[in-house]
Amino acid sequence: MGVGWGMLLELVLGITALNLLFSVWLMRILSLQIQQAVVDLDQMLAGAIAGLVEKGLGDFEPINPIQAAIANMLTANLQQNTTAGEVIEVVRDKTGNFA
């Protein structure tokens, strides 16, 4: 005399139902934790943004004069070498290769 298939099936279904209920309960707890974390993060970001608006961004490192000179040279060189509306024609031969 052993356990019948019916009892075994009821046991498996019962354990499955308990597992499902536990999973739903756990998901609810996790969703509440995530919602609270999002609210906390929102409050921290709002405080940080408010602090930046009130105090400003602070002091920045001054511009390096050598980098500024190089940037000016590059800008001037680009403006001299290009003109607005200049069209460059790309020539190809019959096979489609660049000539």
Which pLDDT score, from 0 to 100, does residue 3 have?
Answer: 67
Is residue 20 pLDDT above 90, yes or no? yes
The whole-angstrom separation of Cα 42 and Cα 25 is 26
C-alpha distances (whole Å) from 93 to each of 25, 63, 96, 97 are 71, 50, 5, 6
Question: For 65-96, how does the pLDDT look when each residue is reduced to its tens digit (9 = 90+)?
Answer: 999 999 999 988 887 766 666 777 888 888 88
Query: Could you tell me the residue ranges of all domains in the chain?
Result: 5-81
Higher pLDDT, 2 or 77: 77
3-state secondary structure of 82: coil
Is residue 1 pLDDT above 60, yes or no? no
pTM recorded for the entire structure: 0.47
